[in-house]
Structure 1
Amino acid sequence: MGSRAAAEEHIPDLNPANQTLEERLLGQGYDWNFRDTLIQSWESLLLILSTFWFILLARVVSQKLRLHGSPNLCYAVEFALVILPCILLVTVAVDYSNYIGGVILLITLWFLQRSRALEKARIRSQFDLGGHRPMCFSVLRALTHLITAICILAIDFGSFYRPYRKSRQYGAKLMDTGIGLFVFTMAMVSRRSRHLSDIRRSVLYSAMPLILLGLARTIAILILGYGQDDHEYGQHLNAFFTLGFTKFLGAMVSILARKDLHLLPLGFGLLLIHQFGLSLLGFSDYVMNDDIERSNLFNANREGLVSLPGFVGLYLLSIYVNRWMVSSSLLTYSEFIRKLRRLFYMVVILWSFFVISAYGIGISRVTCNLGYVIWMLAIGCTTLWASFGAIDFVINSVMPWEANPLEEQEKGLLTGDSPAKGRDKSIVPFTINQALNQNGLTFFLVANVLTGMVNIFLKPEDRSNLESVIILLVYMFLATKMAHEFLKRGIRLA
């Protein structure tokens, strides 16, 4: 990882007239490197799993110190053990990522041996996964919000690890995971539409607010003259539009599935048609060719519009993963091991297909091609498997949560449901996780506003490494503390 600072992107000749049909099919007309893609995906996964491990560490420390009765102390410990390391790992400490990963592995193995977690898990009568919203879902959602919020501001500082920035065409970089994991986690709290009333509910309460936020962001950018990279979603579209349209179209398409299992052929069928259009009908050329002028509304926003079928396919397949995970919430030891093993097989298969896709068709966020969807499913399922095993199997066997009179309210917090108003200030472990699950969209909006203010008033490109870390810490404190205060008061906005 020593040559990271010198990494640069090369923009190739994308003129379709200079490419054969075979080159378009195989992606060889574009400049992507199979080896680089694998390295990028490893760096992205390492950062995600390292941050996840720090969340586990915060859980263990908070419970050992019995901080759940003091929400402010619990928040402070989690901020120091989760957010600070994540900021350092995308900036000044990035060269030590592999070493930190090795230390994390050794500590994990030591903990398993010292705690005799596997023996204690074997004698448990049952495993309670938390009903319709297992802890692994809420952890992944919080993890996605935290990393994305840090990166959208950190990228403006010189200390940010440049190879983490979004790919213009093909790549598997850390910031490429943002929109895909948001779609994946959105599906974790969704179900397939069974009736027209389900579609109306999805549009009214989920899709429409996101689309309106996207519209508001576009108008604000036009008024303020704030810069936007047209190669991400187009001139006028943004991530909120993509999430809103994905939710709307996903609700429409999922009604065709008579049962959850039908989401698999429906999602994969849509993705194959999408990839056929990208590879053989030239849609990939159309999106990535800088020579095509943005002369009309469709051309101006071709990145966001052409990628939509891929995101809808990802959404449908992610709903299936969700429904499979929550098909049974109370499991015996043998049932738990069977589910954990099957999820591991799924992870291995997805990463195998990722390698094949990285070699054959490339990984492209900008078109949300088949390779990108497989990559997102691989990362999402890997994190779910790690969370499923680490929290439900290991930590809850060694350090079971002690019930108290507020148990039902605490279960609601653990699963991301709204806590009852008027409760006292007893908060269970994963305080920041609970806060972001309760008001994730509000947190992300505040993070976007703060990012704009920092860019306008503090000129991040001129800041030293130390200044950048301090600004990022203050920024994340303001955003997470707001969500934490809402959690303490039982306030749920969005």
Structure 2
Amino acid sequence: MAQSYKSMKEDFVSNLSGGSIGEINQVTAVAPAAYLLWSALQTRQGFFANESLATTLTDFLLHVVCLLLATTLYSSAPMILDLLLVAPAIALLILPQAFQTQKKISKPAQKDAKVPAAKDPLPPLPIRPFVTVWRGGMMVITCLAILAVDFKIFPRRFAKVENWGTSLMDVGVGSFVFSAGVVSARPMLRATADNEAPGITQKLAFAIKHALPILALGLLRLYTVKGLNYAEHVTEYGVHWNFFFTLGLLPPFVTLFHTLSATSPTIVASISFLLATAYDLLLEFTDLKAFILTAPRVDFLSQNREGVFSFSGYLAIFLAGQALGLHILARQSAKGSTPSEAFAQKIRLLVILTMWSLLWGGLFFFTTSYRYGFNLQVSRRLANLPYVLWVATFNCAQLTLFCLIETCCFPALSRAETGSVERKESARATPRVLRAFNRNGLAIFLVANLLTGLINLGVDTLSMSQNQAMGILLTYAALVTSLAVGLDHWDISIKL
């Protein structure tokens, strides 16, 4: 019976064609729409100025429950949910700001502004709330999807595709890697700001040290999945390979590329594109694609061919994220005290994000267009060139939206003259729940995986009704969010 259920689950989670990119964009647009409403409540009503149970619950409803609804009950009409979030946000932003709220919020900033900038200088690297919001939202929808996919309420077109096509979970996997690439630029920029130049041996040793805990998690997942006979889809990564192995091997390989790229965003992006292109040429003009898709699993390489060869694509995605991070995480100028200077800096950042979105998007169109390009198809299983370009385009566009919302709703952030003012304005522009998910993302993702396994072992998810499925998913979402917020409240950071 258990084996029969396992076979049913494997067949159920398979997805042959996926959904359209337009539908995926509508579903994921819920995240910036929720942030827009949160920002409107914060700037016009000061609703989240003080943390409390009510504000945390509202935060949870906006940034977790809305994403869950977008992938389940509203999956057939995500635009309705987008409008339900955007309409009240626009109404609040049109209304004048309440006097008492404005006074309450502006007092600390006025007090901190009296501190001389020389005694409290801006840090070398700026605080980017929109990056925190983007990464936190990506982590939320990832944690939700890994359990929701086991229920019938989660549309099959959102699950990972078998060979060719696009889906919500496909872009989620790539976004996880892209996000890791973006934040990996921070230590590089910090070393440059501190005039440090560690050698390649030192960099490699640090990368291996960072990779070991993640590889250990990969071994733990391998042991638990095989030991518990848990349902898995072999064509995702292979018989023994899993996503943690891919994540763990990225830092050492990226370190080797640093000897060529230094901290030039253009060079890093070029290496990313050339790597993805070279890999795609091997797929198209050799027997590699046929080997990955059809070869019998007779030895370690053939058994894990998806994970081994798709690593090239994920490495290209990581480098694409790192190239963007080198742009957006750097402080453009220490001079932003006047409104015009601050506005110019923010516009420059928006232009950079827009240009990267157009660049990756143009390359994606050229490689996939039947009429004007090479008519290549996206394949998450292969992690081919179209997949790399799609993931880069999607995440650059998402970051552009979040940055635009931050620019319009929190202009004081870019005008900060001291470190304390920048920290206060940054905290004011960052939802508590998303900050918590971003802070301990990998640890929370691990716990979410464990909870997903426990729920699947204890519950026949395929037989659950819609109400039962939503009840389990809401309880699961509340538990994972409580863990994230609790760790943040106790000021605990778990680095894996």
Q: Once the 2 structures are TM-superposed, how far is the Cα of residue 338 of structure 1 from its aligned partner? A: 3.2
**Maintained 8 Å contact 1:51/1:82:** yes
Q: Which residue of 2 aligns with 1:296?
A: 299
Taking the TM superposition and a 5 Å limit, the aligned residue runs for 1:392-471 are: 393-397=407-411, 414=427, 429-471=430-472
Q: 1:244 aligns with which of 245, 248, 256?
A: 248
Deviations 1:428-482, CA, capped at 9 Å, x for gaps = 7410111112111111111111111111112211111111111111101111101
| 1:381 pairs with 2:396 | yes
Q: Distance in 1 between matches of 2:174 and 2:56?
A: 28
Q: Secondary structure at the match of 1:493?
A: coil
**Maintained 8 Å contact 2:15/2:156:** no
Q: 2:176 aligns with which of 179, 182, 193?
A: 182
**Maintained 8 Å contact 2:139/2:438:** no
Q: Which residue of 2 aligns with 1:264?
A: 269
Q: 1:316 is matched by which residue type in structure 2?
A: L
Q: Secondary structure at the match of 1:166?
A: coil
Q: Once the 2 structures are TM-superposed, how far is the Cα of residue 132 of structure 1 from its aligned partner? A: 4.4
Taking the TM superposition and a 5 Å limit, the aligned residue runs for 1:193-232 are: 195-196=199-200, 197-205=202-210, 207-232=211-236
Q: Distance in 1 between matches of 2:42 and 2:476?
A: 23
Q: Which residue of 2 aligns with 1:280?
A: 285
**Maintained 8 Å contact 1:232/1:366:** yes
**Maintained 8 Å contact 2:440/2:484:** yes
Q: Which residue of 1 aligns with 2:315?
A: 312
**Maintained 8 Å contact 1:363/1:371:** yes
Q: Distance in 2 between matches of 1:65 and 1:386?
A: 22
Q: Distance in 2 between matches of 1:73 and 1:247?
A: 40
| 1:131 pairs with 2:111 | no
**Maintained 8 Å contact 2:13/2:150:** no
**Maintained 8 Å contact 2:139/2:441:** yes
Q: Distance in 1 between matches of 2:415 and 2:50?
A: 13
Q: Secondary structure at the match of 1:183?
A: helix
**Maintained 8 Å contact 2:159/2:169:** yes
Q: Distance in 2 between matches of 1:249 and 1:405?
A: 35
Q: Which residue of 1 aligns with 2:489?
A: 488
Q: Secondary structure at the match of 2:223?
A: helix
Cα 1:402–1:134 change in 2 (3 A) is closer
Q: Once the 2 structures are TM-superposed, how far is the Cα of residue 111 of structure 1 from its aligned partner? A: 5.7
Q: Distance in 1 between matches of 2:419 and 2:215?
A: 41
Cα 1:228–1:437 change in 2 (3 A) is same
Q: Once the 2 structures are TM-superposed, how far is the Cα of residue 141 of structure 1 from its aligned partner? A: 1.2
Q: Once the 2 structures are TM-superposed, how far is the Cα of residue 279 of structure 1 from its aligned partner? A: 0.9
Aligned residue pairs, count:
436
| TM-align CA RMSD | 3.1
**Maintained 8 Å contact 1:62/1:77:** no
Q: Secondary structure at the match of 2:20?
A: helix
Q: Distance in 2 between matches of 1:99 and 1:77?
A: 20
Q: Distance in 2 between matches of 1:129 and 1:110?
A: 36
Deviations 1:354-383, CA, capped at 9 Å, x for gaps = 233333111111111110111111111001
**Maintained 8 Å contact 2:350/2:400:** yes
Taking the TM superposition and a 5 Å limit, the aligned residue runs for 1:89-168 are: 89-102=70-83, 104=85, 131-168=125-162
Q: 1:356 aligns with which of 366, 370, 376?
A: 366
Q: Distance in 1 between matches of 2:72 and 2:308?
A: 33
| 1:343 pairs with 2:353 | yes
Cα 1:108–1:271 change in 2 (3 A) is same
Cα 1:84–1:129 change in 2 (3 A) is farther
Q: Once the 2 structures are TM-superposed, how far is the Cα of residue 398 of structure 1 from its aligned partner? A: 8.4
Q: Once the 2 structures are TM-superposed, how far is the Cα of residue 84 of structure 1 from its aligned partner? A: 1.4
Cα 1:267–1:339 change in 2 (3 A) is same
Q: Once the 2 structures are TM-superposed, how far is the Cα of residue 407 of structure 1 from its aligned partner? A: 5.7
**Maintained 8 Å contact 1:183/1:311:** yes
Q: Once the 2 structures are TM-superposed, how far is the Cα of residue 402 of structure 1 from its aligned partner? A: 11
Q: Once the 2 structures are TM-superposed, how far is the Cα of residue 282 of structure 1 from its aligned partner? A: 2.5
For structure 1, which runs of at least 5 residues remain unmatched after alignment?
A: 1-6, 12-31, 117-127, 415-426
Cα 1:484–1:130 change in 2 (3 A) is farther
Q: Which residue of 1 aligns with 2:480?
A: 479
Q: Which residue of 1 aligns with 2:9?
A: none
| 1:73 pairs with 2:54 | yes
Q: 2:471 is matched by which residue type in structure 1?
A: I
For structure 2, which runs of at least 5 residues remain unmatched after alignment?
A: 1-11, 98-121, 189-196, 370-374
**Maintained 8 Å contact 2:182/2:321:** yes
Q: Distance in 2 between matches of 1:194 and 1:310?
A: 28
**Maintained 8 Å contact 1:159/1:468:** yes
Cα 1:429–1:320 change in 2 (3 A) is closer
Q: Secondary structure at the match of 1:256?
A: helix
Q: Distance in 1 between matches of 2:415 and 2:463?
A: 47
Q: Once the 2 structures are TM-superposed, how far is the Cα of residue 129 of structure 1 from its aligned partner? A: 11
Instruction: Name the % identity.
Output: 23
Cα 1:405–1:174 change in 2 (3 A) is closer
| 1:324 pairs with 2:323 | no
**Maintained 8 Å contact 1:194/1:255:** no
Q: Once the 2 structures are TM-superposed, how far is the Cα of residue 72 of structure 1 from its aligned partner? A: 2.9
Q: 2:434 is matched by which residue type in structure 1?
A: N
Q: Which residue of 2 aligns with 1:58?
A: 38
Q: Distance in 1 between matches of 2:34 and 2:356?
A: 25
